[in-house]
Amino acid sequence: MTAPGREVNAQSGAYMNEGLRVTEDDYGATYYYRGAQDKNFVSFAGKCWRIVRITGDGSVKLTLYNYNPTNASNPCATSVDGEALAFATFEENGSSTYRSEFNNTDDYNTYIGFMYSNNPNSNDYATVHANQNDSAILIKLKTWYDDVFTSSDKDKLADVIWCNDKRVVADLTYQPNSSNFTATGTGVGDASTYYQGLKRLYAYNSSTSSYDTANAEPSLKCGNSKTDNLISKFTASTTTDGGYGNGALNGYKIGLLTADEVAYAGAIYDTGNTTYYLYKNANEGDFVYWTMTPPLSWQYGTYAFKVSLDFGLDYSRVNSTFGIRPTIALKSDTTISGGNGTQATPFVVN
C-alpha cells in the first residue's frame, strides 16, 4: 500500500485544508490524512481500521475503528458501527472493559513513559527514563495484540517508531497560559517539568482568549536525527526497523497515536472539533482515549495527552482511566484484494 501521489497536496503545514497532506517524519516524507475523510477505511484481521498516515519508510499506519465483535463480513459497515468499538477490549476483574490507566502511579517523571524506570527518584535523566518496565497501558496492548492477531497477521505488521516523546523543555522562560508552577526543565525525580509535546501543541491566543492553530507546531519527528532521542523511539527490534528505534517493545509491533498525529488529523488543544475523522469514538465521558505523548509532570501529578470530542486535545493524570485505541502499521509491500477505501467498501488486506 502506497500514497496515491497525484492526490497529494504538497503543502507541509498541519493546518491547511483537509485532504492527504505531506510533512516529514523520522524516515522522510510522510503523507497524512486530515479533516473529514471518507476513503481511508481498511479491513484487516477481521477488524476495521482508519489509515492515519503513510510513514516515510512506506509503512501504512492504521488506528482501530471497529474491533467487530459480531464478526460482520464488512467490519466497517455502518450497520455494525459503535462508539465503543474503536478500543482494545479485554477482561479485567471478571468483567469486560476498554478503559485503562496509562500508568498505575503518577508521582514521578518516569511515569510519563510507555515504559518506566526501576529508579523513579533518581536525579539522573537517563536513569529516570530508562525503559525497564511496561506501563499499565502497554501491558494491556500486548495482551490484546496476542489475543487478536494470528501469526499471519503479525507477519504483515511493520516495525515502525512509536514516539513517546520524553524530551524536556529546557527553556525555563516557557510558561503556558495560567501556569501556576515553575518548571525545572530536568525531567528527573518529581521535579516539575514541561515536555516538548506541550510546547508544540499548547497554542493559546491571548488576544482572543482562546486556543487556535496559528502558533501550534505539531511534529511527526521524534528527534533531530536517526539516533537522537532513542529513549523515546519505541520499536519492536533494532534489527527489523533499520536501527531507528530502541527495540524496547521486544517484538510487539503496536502502539498508540501521538498527540501530534491527532493534531495533524485536525484536533486543537482544548477545542472541540466534530469535522475530522478521529473525532468519532472520542465523546466526552466514556469514550475519551489516551495518546502516548506526555505534556508535563509536577509535584501533584504526571500527565499524558488524551483525545475527546468536547475538548479536543487535553491531558489528564496518568492514573486516570480512559480508552485504549490500538494503532499498528502495515508493511509497505502489503497488498489489497479490493475496495475503494469507503466505509461501505473498505480496502481489504490480503
The average pLDDT across 223-251 equals: 96
| Closest C-alpha to 271, from 304, 308, 305 | 308
pLDDT at 42: 98
Indicate whether 287 pLDDT > 60.
yes
d(CA 311, CA 331): 34
Q: Could you tell me the residue range of the domain that residue 26 belongs to? A: 5-349
DSSP three-state, residue 68: coil
The number of beta carbons lying within 10 Å of the beta carbon of residue 181 is: 12
The 10s digit of each residue's pLDDT in 95-113 is 788 889 999 999 999 999 9
Confidence of residue 1 (pLDDT cuts 50, 70, 90): low
Contact predicate 4/19, CB 8 Å: no
Indicate whether 34 pLDDT > 90.
yes
pLDDT at 177: 66
User: Which parts of the chain fold into alpha helices (H)?
Assistant: 125-128, 136-148, 151-155, 196-201, 259-265
**DSSP structure class, residue 245:** S
Indicate whether 173 pLDDT > 80.
yes
> End-to-end CA distance of the chain, in Å?
11
Measured between alpha carbons, how far is residue 295 from residues 26, 169, 303, 308 in Å? 21, 10, 6, 16
Instruction: Give me the residue label for grid cell 520499536.
Output: 235
Predicted TM-score (pTM) of this structure: 0.93
Bridge-based pairing of strands 347-349 and 41-44 is parallel
pLDDT at 59: 98
DSSP states of 36-54 as a string? S-SS-EEEETTEEEEEEEE
The average pLDDT across 172-199 equals: 86
Domain count, the chain: 1
Instruction: Give me the residue label for grid cell 525497564.
Output: 132
d(CA 198, CA 263): 12
Confidence of residue 180 (pLDDT cuts 50, 70, 90): low
Indicate whether 277 pLDDT > 70.
yes
Indicate whether 270 pLDDT > 70.
yes
User: DSSP strand E in 18-168: where?
Assistant: 19-24, 29-34, 41-44, 47-54, 60-66, 90-92, 95-97, 99-101, 115-116, 133-134, 162-163
